[in-house]
A and B are shown apart, each in its own frame.
Chain A
Amino acid sequence: MLKRRLIPKLQMRASRFGSSTRMVLVTTVQFDEVMEIGDPVSQAKIYEAQAADELIFLDLDASVENRGTVVDIVRQAAEQIFMPFTVGGGVRSVAHFRKLLSNGADKVSVNTAAIENPDLINEASAVFGAQCVVLSVDYRQGANGPYHVWIKGGRIKTDLDPVAWAIDGERRGAGEILLTSIDRDGTRQGLDLELTRRVADSVSIPVITSGGCGLASHFVDGFLVGKADAVSAGTYFCFKDENPMQTRSQIKNAGIPIRLHT
């Protein structure tokens, strides 16, 4: 039986050390309050040792100047960890896809660029296969109002509805949808189960949901109520004495098929 997946998210930002720039691991709250907490590759190795199912690396700055630094991280990760990982942040072209994939990434996520140029999804999917293309959708809900997709790292609101955009993304050839609730990011108050479920019910490709995990039960809810195929979390694994192994056991106890690696 196919297992549900637990995916630590490694958010990165360029930080200057003297005259050089390198990527550091950070956490955010509602895409803000950025806090440096470590090194992405060493943290990835820890997650591998704890038998995480996959990893997601996101470059929050997503600037052109950082491009080479991100590729370095991808190369190092591919040398040191033997598990699947997705890389995203500032990916704007098929050439970027190729660069990241050829340096060891298994999948590439697109967000802002896919909204500005939706054909990017079609093109990347045709060249590399749907399984390499993850459509990342950041969204907010107004006070009990409708949901909207936000781009540019949560700074700009669009008119798009996240469910409609996910459906369009699948039709264009995305292989997975990565949902992130900006409202819940870093708050540890639980996932947005309603939106997760609406998307999961509307597409036939796997859905990864994220934003808000603070308890093991939030993961359980994401699988059972949200019907997600995978749950991703950043803050949860960074700031608590929790790791993928312990969380996995609690998910297993709730009757959800998940890999128990002993």
Chain B
Amino acid sequence: MIGIVDYGMGNLLSVYHALEMVGADVKMCRQPEALSDVERIVLPGVGAFRDCMTNLRQRGFAAALEESVLHQGKPIFGICLGMQIMARRSFEGGEHGGLGWFNADVVRLQPNKSSLRVPHVGWNEVTYCQDSPFFAGLPPAPDFYFVHSYYMTCDDESDIDATCDYGGTVTAAVRKNQLFATQFHPEKSQDYGLQVLENFLKWHP
């Protein structure tokens, strides 16, 4: 059973249907207690960092996620803002603390070419670590769908699982122990995205 963390923000239906499509038994977790009987967790996210963190804390998810993921070792997949929230802090609209699971900051995209626009919207080529279990079965440099204005910069290069180029190198995926997260939207990236989600179901960190 996979639990999607529903903390009242954003479009969770697409993630739900995409996971069902690749054969997962999916459950929406609207209360933190619901995380106790799932084996894997997906943390989606749309919206602003601060609101997301406030919601996670107020609804008790921040503590429940810490227990399930950090202590019980359940694999988690963060998507977009769900990835950024795993950083120690973000500079979106001021400075705000995150879950702190990665030694990383979330900063605004500043492409070094004026023709490149922010937000970064659309399909971009991803370069991934050859040994990454998440990109198994995909061709080299697959395209994934991105929509974001901020991105994660990691202190530890070994946490970076994939990157893309957008007027500079942008972190596209991070992986550490039982944590995995993508800046792109697998649920919106057609068959390549579904493959990444399927790989998560098979992942045994």
Whether the Cβ atoms of A2 and B123 lie closer than 8 Å is yes
Closest residue of chain A to B47 (Cβ to Cβ) is: A129
Contact of B17 among A3, A79, A101 (CB under 8 A): A79
Query: Does B36 have its Cβ within 8 Å of any Cβ on chain A?
Result: no
Chain A residues 45 to 102 lying within 8 A of chain B, measured CB to CB, are 48, 51, 53, 75, 78-80, 82-84, 101-102
Whether the Cβ atoms of B143 and A3 lie closer than 8 Å is yes
Whether the Cβ atoms of B13 and A103 lie closer than 8 Å is yes
Please give the number of chain B residues whose Cβ is less than 8 angstroms from any Cβ of chain A in the complex: 35
Which A residues lie within 8 Å of B119 (CB)? 130-131, 175, 205-206
CA separation between A53 and B145, bound complex, in Å? 9
CA separation between A205 and B122, bound complex, in Å? 12
Which A residues lie within 8 Å of B121 (CB)? 131, 175-176, 206, 229
Closest residue of chain A to B197 (Cβ to Cβ) is: A82
Whether the Cβ atoms of B47 and A82 lie closer than 8 Å is no
Whether the Cβ atoms of B122 and A229 lie closer than 8 Å is yes
Contact of B122 among A2, A102, A130, A204 (CB under 8 A): A2
Whether the Cβ atoms of A53 and B11 lie closer than 8 Å is no
Whether the Cβ atoms of B165 and A82 lie closer than 8 Å is no
Query: Does B132 have its Cβ within 8 Å of any Cβ on chain A?
Result: no
Query: Does B14 have its Cβ within 8 Å of any Cβ on chain A?
Result: yes
Whether the Cβ atoms of B147 and A1 lie closer than 8 Å is no
Query: Does B31 have its Cβ within 8 Å of any Cβ on chain A?
Result: no
Query: Does B27 have its Cβ within 8 Å of any Cβ on chain A?
Result: no
Whether the Cβ atoms of B149 and A82 lie closer than 8 Å is no
Whether the Cβ atoms of A84 and B11 lie closer than 8 Å is no
Query: Does B23 have its Cβ within 8 Å of any Cβ on chain A?
Result: no
Chain A residues 215 to 253 lying within 8 A of chain B, measured CB to CB, are 229-230
Contact of A2 among B10, B48, B116 (CB under 8 A): B116
Whether the Cβ atoms of A259 and B143 lie closer than 8 Å is yes
CA separation between A110 and B3, bound complex, in Å? 34
Chain B residues 114 to 135 lying within 8 A of chain A, measured CB to CB, are 116-125
Whether the Cβ atoms of A261 and B190 lie closer than 8 Å is yes
B130 to chain A, nearest CB (A): 21
CA separation between A204 and B109, bound complex, in Å? 13
Whether the Cβ atoms of B145 and A129 lie closer than 8 Å is no
Whether the Cβ atoms of A82 and B147 lie closer than 8 Å is no
CA separation between A78 and B14, bound complex, in Å? 6
A239 to chain B, nearest CB (A): 25
Whether the Cβ atoms of B21 and A82 lie closer than 8 Å is yes
Query: Does A104 have its Cβ within 8 Å of any Cβ on chain B?
Result: yes
Whether the Cβ atoms of A1 and B165 lie closer than 8 Å is yes
CA separation between A2 and B149, bound complex, in Å? 14
Query: Does A132 have its Cβ within 8 Å of any Cβ on chain B?
Result: yes
CA separation between A129 and B118, bound complex, in Å? 12
Whether the Cβ atoms of A102 and B11 lie closer than 8 Å is yes
CA separation between A106 and B122, bound complex, in Å? 12
Whether the Cβ atoms of B120 and A2 lie closer than 8 Å is yes
Closest residue of chain B to A5 (Cβ to Cβ) is: B122
Encode A109-140 as 1/0 by CB contact (under 8 A) with B.
00000000000000000011111100000000
Whether the Cβ atoms of B190 and A51 lie closer than 8 Å is yes
CA separation between A171 and B145, bound complex, in Å? 25
B6 to chain A, nearest CB (A): 11
CA separation between A127 and B93, bound complex, in Å? 13
Which B residues lie within 8 Å of A175 (CB)? 119, 121
Residues of B within 8 A of A (CB): 10-11, 13-14, 17-18, 21, 46-48, 116-125, 143, 145-149, 165-166, 185, 187-190, 193-194
19 residue pairs A–B, Cβ–Cβ below 8 Å: A4-B122, A53-B122, A78-B11, A82-B187, A83-B188, A84-B147, A103-B13, A104-B11, A104-B13, A106-B11, A127-B47, A129-B47, A131-B121, A204-B118, A205-B117, A206-B117, A206-B122, A229-B121, A230-B122
